[in-house]
């Protein structure tokens, strides 16, 4: 049974800068699997259009960013380009762009999914990838590339190579002759499709701090970032 898409997508289409020939593609990119009983329940053999578009959009974003970085930084080694690339395509970056588009207003969720948060990092980042996948399928690489370059432009022109907070905290500890940072899971909550973790980060000689995230890795990064700030390294 087909579910009628409940939102007017006109404002979002203006932000995307593309007129869809097949509007069902964009609707699929914004219809979370929870609507059809997908994520968080027993898997079936039925494919999720949302997840398939998310898979495609991830690859399209990665290609566009990789080619863009290759052209912008002709003197940088592969390792430095890889660091820049990782910072541009991770969930934090995707969520930031999704928020600027107010994408949370257009994501179709199951009505009875009361534990689900539209601000959830995974939801916004996954939907952003799915939208990029829909742009690519409907119009080819050009509209997807135009959209990415318009919204990722400020990030890609950062003068310094981005440093992962966990790597920065580890380098700080090693530079001071201290043991490596320790990360501990303090709490895990939420349903399977929308978990939340609280992680404590500590370095010898400094007070431990805690931060939350939609995955252990994201919570660890947030805690490392907070600890670096407390130490005075950022």
Cβ-based neighbours of 101, under 8 Å, separated by 6 or more: 12, 15, 16, 128, 151
User: 51 near 63, Cβ under 8 Å?
Assistant: no
One domain for residues 37 and 143:
yes
Would you write out the chain's pLDDT as a tens digit for each of its 234 residues?
345 677 888 899 999 999 999 999 999 999 988 776 544 444 445 678 999 999 999 999 999 999 999 999 999 899 888 888 988 998 889 999 999 999 988 998 876 444 445 446 678 899 999 999 999 999 999 999 999 999 999 888 875 556 788 988 998 899 899 999 999 999 998 887 778 999 999 999 999 999 998 888 889 999 999 999 998 865
Active-site residue among 129, 138, 200, 218? 129
* Same domain flag for 118 and 185: no
Eight-state DSSP code of residue 133: H
Residue holding tokens 């409907």?
138
CATH number at residue 193: 3.30.160.20
Residue 36, domain member (yes or no)? yes
pTM score: 0.69
**Residue 188 is part of which domain span?**
165-231
Split into its structural domains, the chain has a count of: 2
Q: Per the domain annotation, does 3 fall within a domain?
A: no
Domain boundary among 128, 156, 184: 156
Based on the domain organization, do 146 and 175 belong to the same domain? no
Active-site option among 22, 51, 54, 58: 58
Residue 92 falls in the annotated catalytic set? no
- Establish if 5 belongs to a structural domain: no
Asked whether residue 90 is domain-assigned, the answer is: yes
d(CA 137, CA 134): 5
Same domain, 171 and 214: yes
Q: CA distances (Å), 203 to each of 115, 181, 220, 221, 225, in order?
A: 34, 5, 13, 14, 13
Q: What is the separation of C-alpha 200 from the centre of its chain, rounded to a whole number of angstroms? A: 22
């Amino acid at each position: 049974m087909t579910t009628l898409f409940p939102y007017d997508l006109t404002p979002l289409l203006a932000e995307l800068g593309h007129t869809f020939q097949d509007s069902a593609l964009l609707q699929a990119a914004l219809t979370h699997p929870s609507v059809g009983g997908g994520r968080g329940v027993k898997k079936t053999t039925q494919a999720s259009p949302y997840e398939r578009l998310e898979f495609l959009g991830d690859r399209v974003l990665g290609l566009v960013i990789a080619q863009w970085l290759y052209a912008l930084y002709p003197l940088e080694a592969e390792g430095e380009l890889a660091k820049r690339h990782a910072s541009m395509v991770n969930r934090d970056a995707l969520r930031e762009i999704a928020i600027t588009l107010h994408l949370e207003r257009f994501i179709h969720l199951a009505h009875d999914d009361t534990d689900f948060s539209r601000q959830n990092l995974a939801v916004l980042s996954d939907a952003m990838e799915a939208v990029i996948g829909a742009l690519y399928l409907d119009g080819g690489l050009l509209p997807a590339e135009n959209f990415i370059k318009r919204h990722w432009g400020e990030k890609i022109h950062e003068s310094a190579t981005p440093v992962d907070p966990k790597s920065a905290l580890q380098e700080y500890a090693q530079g001071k002759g201290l043991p490596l940072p320790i990360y501990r899971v303090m709490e895990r909550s939420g349903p399977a499709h929308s978990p939340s973790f609280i992680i404590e980060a500590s370095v010898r000689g400094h007070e431990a701090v805690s931060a939350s995230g939609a995955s252990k890795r994201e919570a660890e990064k947030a805690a490392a970032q907070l600890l670096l700030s407390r130490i005075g390294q950022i």
